[in-house]
Amino acid sequence: MWISNVFAQAPATGADTGAGGLMSFLPLVLMFAVLYFIMIRPQMKRQKETKAMLEALAVGDEVVTVGGIIGKVTALKDQYATVEIASGTEVQIQKGAITTVLPKGTLKSV
């Protein structure tokens, strides 16, 4: 008795199932669109800004590294930067380890 009721509720034509199948993908497409605008797009923008900052890096810039070390750039190479972290103390780091370029004069107040 129950099985015949289930078959009775099935759509009568094939055209109805095509629209229903398309509508079932709509939530998936909407979720991807939301994911793109909330997560992927801001991350790509951040990557562009970081790349531009590292390309504009110059000798004399005051920087903060990933480890939180603050210093002044004294030399630049292709992939590395030499940073003076104290008077007479220089460390060589990868450019990718630089997170922020500070405004000029920040080190004097630290």
Encode pLDDT of 11-62 as tens digits: 555 555 566 777 888 999 999 999 999 999 999 999 999 999 999 999 999 9
Check residue 106 and give its pLDDT: 87
Check residue 61 and give its pLDDT: 94
What does the alpha-carbon distance between residue 35 and residue 61 come to, in Å, rounded to a whole number? 36
Check residue 47 and give its pLDDT: 94
Is the pLDDT at 109 greater than 60, yes or no? no
Q: Which CATH number fits domain 58-109: 3.10.20.90, 2.60.40.420, 3.30.460.40, 2.30.30.100?
A: 2.30.30.100
Best CA proximity match to 73, nearest among 87, 62, 89, 88 = 62
Question: Mean pLDDT score of the chain, rounded to an integer?
Answer: 86
SS3 of residue 46 by DSSP: helix
Q: Which runs of consecutive H residues, i.e. helices, occur in 10-110? A: 14-35, 41-55, 106-109
